[in-house]
Amino acid sequence: MLRRSLPRRPEARRILVGTLLSAIGRGLTLPFLFIYLTDVRGLSDPRAGLVIGWYGAVTLALSPLGGTLIDRFGARRVLLPALLIEAVGTGSLALVDSTASAFGVITVVAIGSSAIWSGQNTILASLTADDERQRVYGLNFALLNLGIGVGGLTSGAIVDTARPITFELIYLLDALSYLTPALILLSLPHVGHRLADATAGAKGSSGGYLTVLRDRPFRRLVIFGLVLTTCGYAQIEVGFTAYAVRVAEVTPRVVAWALAGNTVMIVLSQLLVIRRMEGRSRTGALAVVGAVFAAAWLILGAAGLVGTGNALVAALLVVACAAVFGFGETMLSPVMPALTNALATDELRGRYNAMSSMIFGISGVIGPVTAGPLIGAADGKVWVAVVVGGCLAASVIALSLRPLLSAVQDGRTTAADTPVTAPTPA
């Protein structure tokens, strides 16, 4: 299954190696930003939530510019500076000592992040054919989570809120990891250039983002993504962590093990899920993702009900929540970028991928800012009800998208399987 999922071009395989190595550094810090800002640097919970929300706001504001620059100059010229800026910003998190410095540093991190997602997806799309793209995106996500899991296990054994230097160390290591994909891209001088130049005789599409927004199926996909990520991904760093620590009253180390369980689920099941999804409806898979995410949050809600009455059961439920959530991710990760690029044209592919990344920017603003107050209401029951309801609503939106797609776009057949009808003679 691994051999089948590998991209045909060696350049794409080297890009995937960069994803894996940089993800190890990301995993060192991913679970701990909220805890680092509050328990180590002394920020209040609301201020830490605002800092993380500000990151989402800046990313959101700059993502459209990143997509435009990618289409105009090529992903290479945008991604390389973005990776360097991200490295500087992430390393500077080790120096944060106040709310003001936290806002300043997180702004630098957000500037780099705003173009990385769309740039990497655009490069992978340019190096893969339509029939392999969904598999490659799934493999990319599995490698991403494998790296995050390795980093999370490492940092879980290192960090100690009583020793700030342990957190400073992992942020510096994370910064160094962003240089790996930059070096790999520098070793591939012919990769990441403007896609429209490679399309013979293609006329540049006018309208820019207006053209993208007129795409009705893509608009529906964006709405689905906004609802799902706001009630799903955007809750991982703040909502999941805060609920697990404050309501279920597990230790930060349990949170680290939970994210490790999430990674184990993804790494072990991703290739099998990719294989089973071939030839099946992508919108149907997205609907299942919403139901799986809802089930994960219900499990976490059960951990809050158990609480300190049985610390072991609460810890196991927190880990189970993360694992079930990971199974949903194995279906979402290959489908969203594959469907986005199935709807995109080469002239506007950077903008389509930027709009897709903006989904995470918008939810990154809403999720952290609302998670704290919702968790504080009725012992977290309001938060659980909102995120479960939102995930189920996303499933309904996904099902409404299917009539707007062709069978090829929905993944129920491939372009190679579609019969070509001979033209009728005049």
pLDDT along the chain (426 residues), means of 10: 82 93 89 85 87 83 89 91 95 92 94 89 88 87 85 83 89 93 93 65 59 91 94 85 87 83 86 87 94 96 84 92 93 90 86 86 78 76 92 96 90 59 44
Helix (H, G, I), strand (E, B) or coil at 232: coil
294: tokens are: 């809802």
* Chain centre distance of CA 266: 13
Number of other CB atoms surrounding residue 403 within 10 Å: 10
Indicate the domain borders of the chain: 2-187+212-411
CATH number of 2-187+212-411, picked from 3.40.50.300, 1.20.1250.20, 2.40.160.20, 3.40.50.720: 1.20.1250.20
Q: What is the pLDDT of residue 308?
A: 67
Tokens of 359: 């989904």
Are 12 and 124 a contacting pair, CB within 8 Å? yes
Per-residue confidence (pLDDT) for residue 417, from 0 to 100: 53
**Among 228, 282, 232, 234, residue whose Cα is nearest residue 393:** 228
Q: How many residues does the chain have?
A: 426
Answer positive or negative: Cα dihedral of 105, 123, 356, 282: negative
Look up tokens 């059961």; give the residue: 313
What is the distance in angstroms between the CA of the first residue and the CA of the last residue of the chain?
A: 49
pTM, two decimals, is 0.77
- How confident is the model at residue 199, as a pLDDT? 45
